């Protein structure tokens, strides 16, 4: 089927996916607030992007920051990359993987042809990353 014809469905699918992420993130942060102790294990990851246009870069960085427990710290478009802080990022590779999942879904929703591209290679635990609090 022509990917242009499936674009509205992919866009709607992303809206539901993102709303689910907001709900889950709110529950995790809310439970951490109201229960004794904390599960926070903050980390920062460098995330080279598959996003290419200013709109795509802006969308992913804002959606990350709007999700409870995550914050975009730095945005660059040459080369396209983000630095992202996560409250629950004790495993920075797993945290980065979840961010790439969001980026891939966003790109499938935004691009009429649905092409996403390959996740860029990122060295494990680079000098700019920190896991654990």
CA proximity to 68, closest of 13, 118, 114, 22: 22
For the whole model, what pTM was predicted? 0.88
Q: CB burial class (10 A; 0-12, 13-18, 19+) of residue 93?
A: middle
Looking at residue 89, what is its pLDDT? 95
Q: Rounded to an integer, what distance in angstroms lies between the CA atom of residue 36 and that of residue 33?
A: 8
Please write the tens of the pLDDT for every residue from 58-108.
999 999 999 999 999 999 999 999 999 999 999 999 999 999 999 999 999
Q: Taking a C-beta distance cutoff of 8 angstroms, is the pair 128, 44 a contact?
A: yes
Please write the tens of the pLDDT for every residue from 84-96.
999 999 999 999 9
CA proximity to 105, closest of 59, 45, 73: 59
Confidence of residue 133 (pLDDT cuts 50, 70, 90): very low
Q: Rounded to an integer, what distance in angstroms lies between the CA atom of residue 114 and that of residue 10?
A: 8
Q: Report which of residues 3 and 125 the model is more confident about.
A: 3
Please write the tens of the pLDDT for every residue from 43-55.
999 999 999 999 9
Confidence of residue 129 (pLDDT cuts 50, 70, 90): low
CA proximity to 73, closest of 97, 108, 99: 99
């Amino acid at each position: 089927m022509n990917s242009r014809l499936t674009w509205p469905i992919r866009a709607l699918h992303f809206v539901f996916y993102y709303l689910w992420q907001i709900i889950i993130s709110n529950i995790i942060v809310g439970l951490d607030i109201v229960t004794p102790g904390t599960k926070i294990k903050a980390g920062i990851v460098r995330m080279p992007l598959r996003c290419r246009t200013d709109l795509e870069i802006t969308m992913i960085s804002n959606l990350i920051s709007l999700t409870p427990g995550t914050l975009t710290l730095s945005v660059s478009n040459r080369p396209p990359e983000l630095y992202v802080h996560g409250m629950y990022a004790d495993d920075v590779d797993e945290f980065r993987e979840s961010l790439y999942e969001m980026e891939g879904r966003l790109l499938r929703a935004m691009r009429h042809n649905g092409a996403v591209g390959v996740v860029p290679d990122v060295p494990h635990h680079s000098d700019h990353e920190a896991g654990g609090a």
